[in-house]
Amino acid sequence: MNFETISSSALLAAFIVYCIAFLVFVLAVAGKGWSSRDPQEHVKRWGRFAFAASVVGFACHLLFFFTRWYSAGHIPTSNMYEFMTFLAMMIMFAFIIVYLIYRTPVLGMFALPVGIIVIAYASVFPHEVQPLIPALQSYWLKIHVTTAATGEAFFAVGFAGGLMYLLRTIDFKGTSKAARREQRGAEFTLFTIVTVIAFVSVVFGFHAAGYSAQFGKQVTVKDPQGVEQTVTQKIDYVLPPLFQPYDSQLISMKPFLGMDKPPMTSPSWMKGGNAGRKFNTVVWSLLAGLILYAILRLVARRRLGEAIQPALAGIDAEDLDEISYRAIAIGYPIYTLGALIFAMIWASEAWGRFWGWDPKEDWALITWLFYAAFLHLRLSRGWQGKRSAWLAVVGFLVVMFTLIGVNLVIAGLHSYAGV
């Protein structure tokens, strides 16, 4: 029995079922005016069906997790593909817990897309089962990563609740400075989500088309005896190179829209071949995001936040505020254990010190301090409503930079997570 194949099929099944559950949640909330039944009864009926589908998807996700664990011989949280799929599973777990508390179908409209996008983003990375590198061969991998990811998953649900609150309460027709500032902030948040979706779509599209490009760059390395020698570092692009790595040579490139060589070179201060590739990815992400956002704006004929707001009509804003706060309150102690306490114990065993100001450690601390400030302002200063919601949204953006930006952009002891 090929457990790796079963694992991949189970994740695909989970992704499809999550998408179906999301659509049914949308039908439950947005379609309440279409039904001849009592609107509340319509929401409850379809909400129960959507929640049941979410649980089925979560069961498939669990099957993926445990079959991959059996296939790999170690807990599947050791690289970006495995960690992001695990984070998506924990987001769905957190959603199920919070949903069982509040029974609000509209939460599924916003929480499920977060898990779906995370799975789609994870699929950009190599899927192959990889042996566990020596730095990760510890039982603390199970304890540290799983608890940290669970805390972050509840932050994701808090983000969904905060974003729902903002879209429910912002005056999109207001013309005052405060109203315009809120409108721009909400629209920027939605643009960020659209950009991630566009990036994943573009990568899948070019991968399906078999696109590839490769460059060579001369770098100096030391052999095991410490002798320096010059070798050619090969840099593979999965997206058409709009920017060639600085001081590199083109090895091969499939033509794209008549372009058989990159039109531009990365700035000279972007040293290293991967810097040029990452810059090219950022540019492609922004371009794809702008195009998809423009298409959605043309379809909606108004700002996306303004188009979404009617679906939240009739939802108690205080309930959304409470959902966001409770999710973060549940996630904070779990994150404290996983991302700080367990991480420091493992660091002491692995590197002989509790703290080394590694970039990942720094940003984990920044995340922890941010949510500590959130809870302090909420409980002692009475920051509720919009101020609390904005903090929930910004906080999750900090979380995502800690997970993605630090792993893939900033070099450090945790860089292996970006492989």
Q: Say if 253 falls within a structural domain.
A: yes
- Domain check: are 152 and 186 in the same one? no
- Domain check: are 374 and 319 in the same one? yes
- Domain check: are 15 and 44 in the same one? yes
Residue at which a domain ends, from 279, 302, 325? 302
> What is the rounded CA–CA span in Å between residue 132 and residue 85?
17
Q: Say if 144 falls within a structural domain.
A: yes
pLDDT tens-place string over residues 195-247: 989 988 998 888 888 888 999 888 777 766 667 778 888 888 889 999 888 88
- Domain check: are 212 and 263 in the same one? yes
Residue 416 has a pLDDT of 47
Q: Say if 28 falls within a structural domain.
A: yes
Residue at which a domain ends, from 277, 302, 327? 302
- Domain check: are 69 and 126 in the same one? yes
Residue 419 has a pLDDT of 40
pTM summary value? 0.87
- Domain check: are 165 and 177 in the same one? no
Q: Say if 95 falls within a structural domain.
A: yes
Domain, as residue range, for 209: 173-302
- Domain check: are 215 and 339 in the same one? no
Q: Say if 74 falls within a structural domain.
A: yes
Q: Say if 309 falls within a structural domain.
A: no
> What is the rounded CA–CA span in Å between residue 30 and residue 20?
15
Residue 272 has a pLDDT of 63
Could you give the number of structural domains in the chain? 2
- Domain check: are 165 and 198 in the same one? no
Q: In the chain, how long is the greatest CA-to-CA distance?
A: 80
Residue 305 CB neighbours (<10 A): 22
- Domain check: are 324 and 296 in the same one? no
Q: Say if 310 falls within a structural domain.
A: no
- Domain check: are 292 and 360 in the same one? no
Residues 6+ apart with CB under 8 A from 172: 183, 303, 305, 306, 309
Q: Say if 308 falls within a structural domain.
A: no
Residue 36 has a pLDDT of 54
- Domain check: are 177 and 286 in the same one? yes
Residue 352 has a pLDDT of 75
Residue 10 has a pLDDT of 95
Segment-wise mean pLDDT, segments of 10 residues, the chain, 419 residues:
85 96 88 61 84 96 94 86 93 95 89 93 84 75 90 94 93 91 93 90 87 86 72 86 88 88 84 76 90 95 92 85 94 93 84 76 90 93 90 92 68 46
Residue at which a domain ends, from 267, 302, 337? 302
- Domain check: are 87 and 113 in the same one? yes
